[in-house]
Amino acid sequence: MKIKFLSLFKSFLVLLLGLMLIQCSVLPDHIPDHEIAAQWADMTLYVTKNTPANSPTFASRCLGYMGLAQYEAVVHGDASHQSLAGQLNELYTLPLPNANQNYNWLMVLNRSQSTLLKSIYLQTSDENKLKIDSLEQRIHKILLKSTDRANTKRSITYADSLANHLFEWSKTDGGHRGYLKNFDPDYHRDSFPGSWKPPLFAQSFSHNPLHHFWGENRTFSPLNKNLPLPTFISYDPSEGSSYYQEFMAVYEKERNLTEEEKEAAIWWSDDPDVTFSPGGHLYYIAQALVRMNKPDLITATKTFAMVGMSVADAFIKCWKWKYHFFSERPNTFIPEFIDQKWESFWPDPPFPAFPSGHAIQAAAAARALQATFNNKTFFIDSAHVGRERDHVRNVEFKARSYPTLWSVAVETAESRFYGGIHTPQDNKIGLEQGVIVAQNIINLKWEK
């Protein structure tokens, strides 16, 4: 009872402090439309990073719904665009605003992001939920300066209805509360030549692979549901075979890594225990580009929707194929057939190899970003600036610059090759399939 009281008292103090800061801080009279969208992307990434038992798969799902919710919150305020209701898998309808009444669409965006984020990340801490509330209240107070009481009430009611409808839809996709079943102890797969095996040098203590069922989840795009199987090089451990050469390439690269390649390997590692996950890293880049380019509201929210849903669908298809092929990683093949003492630069993630999850989701995000921004957009990625040096590998986290959007996808894929946990074919197919996944999101009928 004493522990429960202290916990409640701590939560009360956090809430009281947050309310005091909101009351005491000087609020601006206006906040740019794109900045509100970007701040909610920030909060989504903060909660993703600071919620225990998270995974790349579950985080990608969150990004899909949060990005879509941004777009749907404001689409009825834009004459040139339309809702995606009726176009996405099993999303037959969404609540509609009253055509004869005015709404503050920024209020709808602000409230619906807050409501949906707390619902999808139901398991996050009370402190995180208070942070979500504080951001909502701060933005709301700014928007109140230009909105009458009736419009405010109407906008909040609509926002809650939209967020609740999207959340109910999300509960039927197969991934709801997926953090409760990260590593299924009852999952069993008979081994076969070339099959995945729990490695000794791993990111996880579990000998069960992550989310074996994720590939059966509902995709956002109907066309992404039944994509054909990609081509996989058949198992053949004989020296000189195409299969053998895939792993030999990894072995030789690990022995000749440059400092630049080591920095890329740790920069894109994005362990969900300490970062906002691989998918979150791409959502972060979307946020950075929105802030840099300052697009109008519909374009900003559409960007988050495209990137979020592309990354979410990419993870679903990737997991579908990972558990179909159930392929081994270099850490099991190379010690058996090339060098018994070999160990990868980066530890293995706890799931099969083919295709690369980093490659497919990065390609999907890059292609989605190309639908909004010029591919030849130079920018600097500062996602991990400030992180403590990786003392195990003796490498610093340094900001990275890119001349094009596509170069982000290429380096993300190559980082896993540098890390010694993916072969060239894992990355090649991942990049190719990510583009296909994203194109099916881009080709939805966004405009009227």
Predicted pLDDT at 5 = 40
- CA separation for the pair 209, 185 (Å, rounded): 9
218 and 110 co-located in one domain: no
Structural domain contains residue 3:
no
Q: Which of 170, 205, 237 is the endpoint of a domain?
A: 170
Residue for token digits 């109407």? 154
| pLDDT tens-digit map of 122-150 | 999 999 999 999 999 999 999 999 999 99
221 and 274 co-located in one domain: yes
Q: Helix, strand, or coil here: 402? A: strand
Q: Does pTM top 0.75 for this prediction?
A: yes
CATH of the domain at 135: 1.20.144.10
pLDDT band at residue 7 under the 50/70/90 scheme: very low
Structural domain contains residue 176:
no
Is pLDDT at 434 greater than 50 in this prediction?
A: yes
Contact between 147 and 168 (Cβ < 8 Å): no
- CA separation for the pair 417, 345 (Å, rounded): 10
Nearest alpha-carbon partner for 147 in 155, 135, 136: 155
Predicted pLDDT at 366 = 98
Structural domain contains residue 283:
yes
155 and 224 co-located in one domain: no
User: Residues 337-357: what's their mean pLDDT?
Assistant: 96
- CA separation for the pair 255, 309 (Å, rounded): 38
Is pLDDT at 110 greater than 90 in this prediction?
A: yes
362 and 317 co-located in one domain: yes
255 and 360 co-located in one domain: yes
pLDDT band at residue 85 under the 50/70/90 scheme: very high
Q: Classify each residue of 222-250 as buried b or exposed e, where b means 16 or more C-beta atoms within 10 Å of its C-beta.
A: ebbeebeebebbebeeeeeeebbbbbbeb
Q: Which of 119, 144, 170 is the endpoint of a domain?
A: 170
Predicted pLDDT at 25 = 60
- CA separation for the pair 242, 375 (Å, rounded): 34
Is pLDDT at 252 greater than 60 in this prediction?
A: yes
Contact between 395 and 320 (Cβ < 8 Å): no
- The neighbouring-strand residues paired with 293 are none
210 and 333 co-located in one domain: yes
Q: Which of 170, 202, 217 is the endpoint of a domain?
A: 170
Is pLDDT at 70 greater than 90 in this prediction?
A: yes
Nearest alpha-carbon partner for 179 in 56, 327, 35, 362: 56
Structural domain contains residue 21:
no
Contact between 209 and 299 (Cβ < 8 Å): no
Predicted pLDDT at 107 = 98
136 and 201 co-located in one domain: no
Structural domain contains residue 15:
no
325 and 213 co-located in one domain: yes
Is pLDDT at 439 greater than 90 in this prediction?
A: yes
CATH of the domain at 377: 1.10.606.20
Contact between 69 and 113 (Cβ < 8 Å): yes
Structural domain contains residue 2:
no
| pLDDT tens-digit map of 310-323 | 999 999 999 999 99
130 and 217 co-located in one domain: no
Predicted pLDDT at 177 = 96
166 and 194 co-located in one domain: no
- CA separation for the pair 302, 297 (Å, rounded): 8
228 and 93 co-located in one domain: no
Query: Which residue range forms the structural domain that includes residue 361?
Result: 188-442
Q: Helix, strand, or coil here: 342? A: coil
Residue percentage of the chain with pLDDT more than 90: 90
424 and 293 co-located in one domain: yes
Q: How many domains does the chain have?
A: 2
pLDDT band at residue 340 under the 50/70/90 scheme: very high
Contact between 130 and 10 (Cβ < 8 Å): no
| pLDDT tens-digit map of 11-54 | 544 444 554 444 446 778 889 999 999 999 999 999 999 999 99
If you count DSSP H runs as helices and E runs as strands, how many of each does the chain have, helices first?
Answer: 14, 2
Structural domain contains residue 22:
no
Q: Classify each residue of 279-306 as buried b or exposed e, where b means 16 or more C-beta atoms within 10 Å of its C-beta.
A: bbbbbbbbbbbbbebebebbbbbbbbbb
Structural domain contains residue 13:
no
